[in-house]
Amino acid sequence: MQSLFVTGTDTDVGKTVVTGGLLKAFATRGLSTLGYKPIAAGCESTPRGLENADALFLQHCSSVRAPLIEVNPVTYAPPIAPHIAATLAEQPIASEQVIAGWHQLASYQPDVLITEGAGGWALPISHQDTFPSILRQLPLRVILVVGMRLGCLNHALLTASAVRADGFELAGWVANHLSATMPYLQDNIDTLSHLLGAPLLGQVPYLNNDPNNPFEHTLGAEQYLDIAPLLVGTG
């Protein structure tokens, strides 16, 4: 089983766009896929409980069907940093729950299990711990989503350095266009391709879709991704 973790240079840089695209791209290769969103803040209250649009989308993109509570076990209503939301709700984030959730989805035996992070790489889950301190217990290779905008070079290089310093492999990166135009876009991509030391898996163009449709903004990302570098050495 391939186990990947998608992180970003910041919040709102397109992690869900890319995670959904990766799930579909692997499926087009005939591989079974399953997405995992362990922690989500900014959830909507429904008769079924708290539901997160990003988690619903990962469930939609996965070829293996799992209940939403398993796709997204830790949920909070306020769209704020999860550890703050956890404090307000008096429901601290338990690392054991995140790990158990990953193993539960792994028990479905998908060919590819992709975990999407929350926020950036060093997301606090409490006043003592960050997300990477949990992730060390799992066999994950990291995909970095770079939101292409002014400042992305610094953010991308710092994130890549932190990923490696925490003991993880940076398996690839994706350039996600956050606007229709960016000055010297290709120069920025060329710089990152030279300095990140990981394969560029694709460029996702700016998708100016209906913000009221939680799924439309992520449709079609798979056509811009090249997962071949991720398949090297796998069965």
Question: What is the Cα–Cα distance from 150 to 101, expressed in whole angstroms?
Answer: 36
By the 8 A CB rule, do 47 and 184 touch? no
* SS3 assignment, position 51: strand
Q: At what angle do helices 53-61 and 15-28 cross, to 10 degrees?
A: 10
Residues serving a catalytic function are: 37
* SS3 assignment, position 157: helix
Continuous segment of H or E residues that includes residue 114: strand 112-116
Question: What is the Cα–Cα distance from 216 to 184, expressed in whole angstroms?
Answer: 28
Question: What is the Cα–Cα distance from 6 to 22, expressed in whole angstroms?
Answer: 10
